[in-house]
Amino acid sequence: MATPLSDHDKRKQISIRGIVGVENVAELKKGFNRHLHFTLVKDRNIATPRDYYFALAHTVRDHLVGRWIRTQQFYYEADPKRVYYLSLEFYMGRTLQNTMINLGLQNASCFLDSMATLGLAAYGYGIRYEYGIFNQKIKDGWQVEEADDWLRHGNPWEKARPEYMLPVHFYGRVEDTKDGSKWVDTQVVLAMPYDTPIPGYMNNTVNTMRLWSARAPNDFNLRDFNVGDYIQAVLDRNLAENISRVLYPNDNFFEGKELRLKQEYFVVAATLQDIIRRFKTTKKGCPGRTSFESFPDKVAIQLNDTHPAMAIPELMRIFVDIEKLDWDTAWDLTRRTFAYTNHTVLPEALERWPVELMETLLPRHLQIIYQINQVHLDRIASLFPKDMDKLRKMSLIEEDGIKRVNMAHLCIVGSHAVNGVAEIHSNIVKTQVKFCFCLPMLFCILTWGKYLLQVIGEDYVKDLSLLQKLNDFVDDAAFIRDVSKVKQDNKVKFAQYLETEYKVQINPSSMFDVHVKRIHEYKRQLLNCLHIIAMYNRIRMNPSAPFVPRTVIIGGKAAPGYHMAKMIIKLITSVAEVVNNDPVVGNKLKVIFLENYRVSLAEKVIPATDLSEQISTAGTEASGTGNMKFMLNGALTIGTMDGANVEMAEEAGEENLFIFGMRVEDVEELDKKGYDAMSYYKKIPELKHVMDQITSGFFSPKNPELFKDLTEMLFKYDRFKVFADFEDYMKCQEKVSKLYQNPKEWTKMVIKNIAATGKFSSDRTITEYATEVWGVEPTDLKIPPPSEPREAIEETARALKKM
């Protein structure tokens, strides 16, 4: 086999943007013209670019439909164990390009949708928000939010399925009858499913993502209290339909709003009805599965964070109240069905729903949670007699302050497997939760390579670990040149994009130092900002000294209610204003705040990055996904020993990353000792200078007090200890600049990094989940394409059953 690495074009594909050639051109053209005419009712004279996009999207979708239907037929025939991924958020990128690649309509490789690629009978379930994450505008240096009306022009990928609409109940009361508990007098909202196809990579598998939209029933408010006021009743339909109106934009922050709890229960209730209907509608020969004994053998449900945690009491309610199973049987089946992934260790992010709210909205579920807790606490009491402190800590109900349900604890007791998202994070989860030693549960360590990775050459597409072959080319002068040329091309392209879209000019020969992710104190954009100011001061103090030119690019959305995060954006834009307009600085340093960071922008900026900033306080970033995306796309990392950075350093060798700052143990020690920001300020002259400038209004001359809250936080109550890592960060950045002056050595290190990314494939991650958590086996069995007769499906189904 010719090594793909000797092929220049394939190396070019390291870039996410390396789209080359399109096959089946003639067929695509025909479908395209047909859709432009019949679906969009336009001709070439009046069609807009959006019309062309929609015509192409519909054409590509046509290629999916046959495979989509066949995949579902195949699942019906073969009756494999189904895997359900429940999430309140799906971070979808661009569907069109992704779909074309997976169908082989484009022969470049890009995101692989791992579950479909691995041939798993998988379903994603969530909410079809009318408004997704807001669009960010920067006005006068401040973040301004705009609604994301993403459905305005329709969505060519989704198919509404009104015939599968399901009722979801809220409020009401519990009636105890001799026939068991009954939840009565409820208000009903309907859940309407919208299906989106999820194609696997070149394997004819097309799975389904089903998102629920809230609809008011036609008799909404017309039966009881609003009798007679027809107009008002119709207007009030909005109230019910608000459930799926908008995605809550918080990042790592719990806001206990009733509407959010409604959303969480809405997706759970509709999804579980759907799962149980599918479980019962099984193959001819065993119609209407009557026993639930086999439920956990046929159904695995993955809870993405605690957001869908109400699925646990909901499944118990279905088993006990509706299907009339006894409690112990129901609980055993429930625990064997669910697995839970924890995504954060920040206490303010943990969901703790007030008991009072839950009692009003979901009275029967609260009773069930209390009963689960009773059994759970009895068990702990028997294991640790008289340890009241343990009982209090491990209870599902928190009693200090207002009573709350701890949703993480509910997930842990209601699941057979719990995992964090990186090795270090799983270890932190274990020690913080303090559960693992007394409950028979599996804490597995799975790294989250969620954002599917970029690949070189045919064989690498399905096995990223083959990238380690790149190590053979670390000293190959021609290869080094090619890699650095690819990076340079990407930088030029991104610079051109910034120029056309935002009218800002950057120098493509400067180092692109990129820090893009949600704006949060723990991610420490402030540390980066202090470094920018320190560099600026060094240039001004000594303008003739050599300086390695940098373009620092920072981007990310702040949660709309997060004051400090918004101040951080304002500080960055204010510093940028000063630095970019100082003639002494010239071409040496540029600061760009990248507006509206989102998946489609990530695809542009990440391949153009030289230096990736991953500088969270050790122990705060569960894993991160950006860190891995940058590494795979040929950036070097400056980072702390946090989240997946730890494994990146392990895989590539610590000497091939720029690791700095406190380790988790150092942070813990400093916490014990007491973090004193002022001591660093006094000790480090450069830090003092920088802070004095911010405090005195150097970057906000019209309003010297502007950053008072921010500086006060840094000095008095900085939970994330920015100053403690300042000095080491500065030194580490000097090493970065020094290496950047030697392009050959820099690129060698880049190659070593890319070669070490094999572990961070989502295919690998999903394979681990499949075998260790869900009890299913990935297959490379190909479902017969639409060109083959229907019997071929049955034949393949029989083959799968024999495996």
Ligand X SMILES: *Cc1c(COP(=O)(O)O)cnc(C)c1O
Q: Is 629 in the site for ligand X (CB under 6 A)?
A: yes
Neighbouring-strand partners of residue 594: 555
Q: With contact defined as beta carbons under 8 Å apart, do 548 and 538 qualify?
A: no
Residue 105 sits at the vertex; the CA angle it makes with 100 and 106, to the nearest 5 degrees, is: 80
Site string for ligand X, 137-156 (x = CB under 6 A): --------------------
| Chain-centroid distance, C-alpha 345 | 16
Distance CA 97, CA 16 (A): 11
Q: Is 111 in the site for ligand X (CB under 6 A)?
A: no
Q: Which of 70, 128, 517, 550 forms a contact with ligand X (CB under 6 A)?
A: 517
Q: Which of 599, 689, 705, 731 forms a contact with ligand X (CB under 6 A)?
A: 599
**For ligand X, which stretch binds (CB under 6 A), given 232-240, 621-629, 647-655, 792-800?**
621-629
Residue 390 sits at the vertex; the CA angle it makes with 385 and 392, to the nearest 5 degrees, is: 115
Residues in the interface with ligand X (CB under 6 A) total 11
Distance CA 19, CA 601 (A): 16
Which H or E run includes 575?
Answer: helix 563-580
Q: With contact defined as beta carbons under 8 Å apart, do 138 and 144 qualify?
A: yes
Q: Is 607 in the site for ligand X (CB under 6 A)?
A: no
Cβ closest to ligand X, residue 251 vs residue 651: 251
Q: How many CB atoms within 10 Å of residue 330?
A: 22
Question: Which pair of structure tokens corresponds to residue 179?
Answer: 């026939």
Min dist CB 395 to ligand X, Å, is: 32
**For ligand X, which stretch binds (CB under 6 A), given 33-41, 352-360, 593-601, 729-737?**
593-601
Cβ closest to ligand X, residue 585 vs residue 602: 602
Catalytic residue selected from 128, 210, 517, 748? 517
Catalytic residue list contains 590: no
- Helix-strand-coil percent breakdown of the chain, rounded to 5? 50, 15, 35
Q: Is 35 in the site for ligand X (CB under 6 A)?
A: no
Question: Which pair of structure tokens corresponds to residue 770?
Answer: 């499949």
Distance CA 547, CA 528 (A): 18
Q: Is 451 in the site for ligand X (CB under 6 A)?
A: yes
Q: How many CB atoms within 10 Å of residue 228?
A: 7
| Terminal-to-terminal C-alpha distance of the chain | 30
Which residue's Cβ lies closest to ligand X? 626
Q: Is 597 in the site for ligand X (CB under 6 A)?
A: yes
Min dist CB 319 to ligand X, Å, is: 37
Q: Is 106 in the site for ligand X (CB under 6 A)?
A: no
Min dist CB 623 to ligand X, Å, is: 7
Catalytic residue list contains 503: no
Question: Which pair of structure tokens corresponds to residue 559?
Answer: 């949660």
Min dist CB 607 to ligand X, Å, is: 12
Catalytic residue list contains 689: no
Cβ closest to ligand X, residue 525 vs residue 747: 525
Q: Is 602 in the site for ligand X (CB under 6 A)?
A: yes
Catalytic residue selected from 17, 210, 409, 523? 523
Catalytic residue selected from 551, 625, 747, 796? 625
Catalytic residue list contains 178: no
Between the alpha carbon of residue 9 and those of residues 18, 19, 469, 666, 785, the distances in Å are 9, 11, 17, 46, 30
**For ligand X, which stretch binds (CB under 6 A), given 4-12, 337-345, 594-602, 738-746?**
594-602
Catalytic residue list contains 343: yes
Q: In this structure, what is the dihedral angle of CA atoms 30, 32, 36, 39, given to the nearest 10 degrees?
A: 100
Catalytic residue list contains 625: yes
Site string for ligand X, 392-431 (x = CB under 6 A): ----------------------------------------
Cβ closest to ligand X, residue 184 vs residue 599: 599
Neighbouring-strand partners of residue 513: 552, 611
Residues annotated as part of the active site: 343, 517-518, 523, 625, 629
Give contact residues for ligand X (rule: CB under 6 A). Answer: 451, 517-518, 597-599, 602, 624-626, 629
